[in-house]
Amino acid sequence: MKDYIDRLKYNDRIKPFVGAGLIKVPVGQRRVGKSYLLRQVRDEISLAGACNFILIDKENEAFDHIRSASDLTEYIKAKAVTTAGVTNYVMIDEVQEIADFENSVRSFAAKPNFDVYLTGSNSEILSSELATRLSGRYIEIPVYSLDFNEFTVFHDLEKKTENLHLFLKYGGMPFSRNLALNDEQAFEYLKNVFTSILYRDVVGRYNVRNVNFLDRLIRFTADNIASMLNAKKISDYLKSQQVNISVNTVLDYLSYLVNAQIMVPVKRMELKGKRILEVNEKYYFQDLGIRNALSGYRVSDMGKLMENCVFNHLISHGYTVYTGDWQQKEIDFVAEKNNERVYIQVAYLLTEPSTIEREFGNLELIRDNYKKMVVSMDVQSRNTRDGIEHWNLLQFLAHFS
């Protein structure tokens, strides 16, 4: 009997590559469910024919002895079978914990009776090592915490506004289905998850010495999700708080947090010239629950929480996302997938004429034929204006993909 809930959208992304000779690499923040995704894939494979599974979980102390590529090669060889018609499915969880892992897995991936799956929590290590050693021979599958539809399934909830607020507050870490959705249990768990990520994937991985500054940086960024930031702005703010840190150090520490997949940077696109601008990025948290556990959940933050939520929904559904710049007017999101584009503005409530004019007016300046929409918390959707659609956030999260 299965002890997990299927996450079909990720399974559908992996399924076409099973047995295709490419290494499959689900990548995501710790505790977003990569291990269970491998179980899901394994259960489907086991129904298809003769197979031998070689499972290595680097978060399990039973595998502490596998520390290097040579250790890994020795273990896989000992567990492999050579019976004709049997495929060895190698599945390694948190592979970045094994030094020079790519030297081992590439040799097995080249063999016809092996099919290799790796998961990891450090995007920088995985992307650099795999791109260097396995160029063209792997497929990366980003894995995120639960989207709203998954959240309602995991918690057996209806898709309605009060449950949307639970999602905005506590986020989508899958294990939270085993906890009560209240501050005491949920935030305590999320703080522990964050601490584990911070010390294993940031402090330990990069030998960070100034942990106090790192903590201040995280909390500053958590307070400023959905705001344009750059390293100098952050450095200047910290100096105003009597913390003297160089711009380069800020950049380094931000990159560590991004590589650990705590946060995601979003670049600006100048829409008129179609240039990607290298200054003033926005940062969003991959899981809103972790952000709220660190920074607090306040109704006054609802607009930026909604914006972070819309961003997470877009990337989890395969969109490449930018913030837009059109004639010095900001477009919250320019999202692209399958050679299509959608422009999205996010606002808490469309109650003030000035808010309506800003959100719809900015989009009206863009005269191409791509889809344009405004997403808000208003219960009733408005009529379209100049072809621009108005979606309620609940409707957007439940139906837009």
What radius of gyration do the chain's Cα atoms show?
Answer: 22
| Residue 355 within a domain | yes
8 A C-beta contact, residue 336 and residue 343: no
| Residue 1 within a domain | no
8 A C-beta contact, residue 358 and residue 332: no
- Looking at the structure, do residues 153 and 132 belong to the same domain, yes or no? no
- Looking at the structure, do residues 16 and 37 belong to the same domain, yes or no? yes
Residue 329, domain CATH: 1.10.10.10
Residue 136 in this model has a pLDDT that exceeds 80: no
- Looking at the structure, do residues 231 and 281 belong to the same domain, yes or no? yes
Mean pLDDT computed over 227-231:
89
| Residue 129 within a domain | yes
Residue 126 in this model has a pLDDT that exceeds 70: no
Residue 383 in this model has a pLDDT that exceeds 90: no
- What is the rounded (10 degree) CA torsion for 213, 215, 216, 222? 150
Mean pLDDT computed over 168-193:
97
Range of lowest pLDDT (19-33, 166-180, 189-203, 241-255): 241-255
- Looking at the structure, do residues 115 and 157 belong to the same domain, yes or no? no
- Looking at the structure, do residues 51 and 164 belong to the same domain, yes or no? no
| Residue 128 within a domain | yes
pLDDT at 237: 83
Residue 374 pairs in a beta bridge with: 345, 390
Residue 192 in this model has a pLDDT that exceeds 90: yes
Cα distance between residue 239 and residue 224, in whole Å: 17
pLDDT bin (cut points 50, 70, 90) of residue 88 is very high
Cα distance between residue 223 and residue 233, in whole Å: 14
Q: Which two tokens stand for residue 76?
A: 């896989």
| Residue 2 within a domain | no
pLDDT at 129: 66
| Residue 261 within a domain | yes
Residue 266 pairs in a beta bridge with: 282
Mean pLDDT computed over 292-307:
96
- Looking at the structure, do residues 170 and 317 belong to the same domain, yes or no? yes
Q: What is the identity of the amino acid at 290?
A: I
- Looking at the structure, do residues 293 and 181 belong to the same domain, yes or no? yes
Percent of the chain with pLDDT over 70: 97
Would you say how long the chain is, in residues? 401
pLDDT at 23: 93
pLDDT at 206: 93
| Residue 349 within a domain | yes
For tokens 């492999």, name the residue.
80
Question: Is residue 159 classed as helix, strand or coil in its secondary structure?
Answer: coil
Mean pLDDT computed over 63-82:
97
Mean pLDDT computed over 28-32:
94
Residue 92 in this model has a pLDDT that exceeds 90: yes
Residue 127 in this model has a pLDDT that exceeds 80: no
pLDDT at 326: 87
- Burial class (CB within 10 angstroms; exposed 0-12, middle 13-18, buried 19+) of 224: middle
Express each pLDDT in 337-380 by its tens digit: 999 999 999 999 999 999 999 999 999 999 999 999 999 999 88
Question: Is residue 335 classed as helix, strand or coil in its secondary structure?
Answer: strand
Mean pLDDT computed over 289-314:
97
Picking from 142, 166, 198, the residue at the C-terminal end of a domain is 142
pLDDT at 116: 96
Give phi and psi for 231, each to the nearest 5.
Answer: -60, -40
Range of lowest pLDDT (87-91, 163-167, 231-235, 393-397): 231-235
Q: What residues make up the domain containing 92?
A: 8-142
Q: What is the identity of the amino acid at 331?
A: I
Q: How many structural domains are present in the chain?
A: 2
The rounded mean pLDDT for the chain is 93
Picking from 142, 172, 206, the residue at the C-terminal end of a domain is 142
Among 123, 143, 182, 111, which residue's Cα sits nearest to residue 12? 143
Residue 95, domain CATH: 3.40.50.300
Give phi and psi for 391, each to the nearest 5.
Answer: -120, 135
Picking from 142, 168, 189, the residue at the C-terminal end of a domain is 142
| Residue 103 within a domain | yes
8 A C-beta contact, residue 262 and residue 285: yes
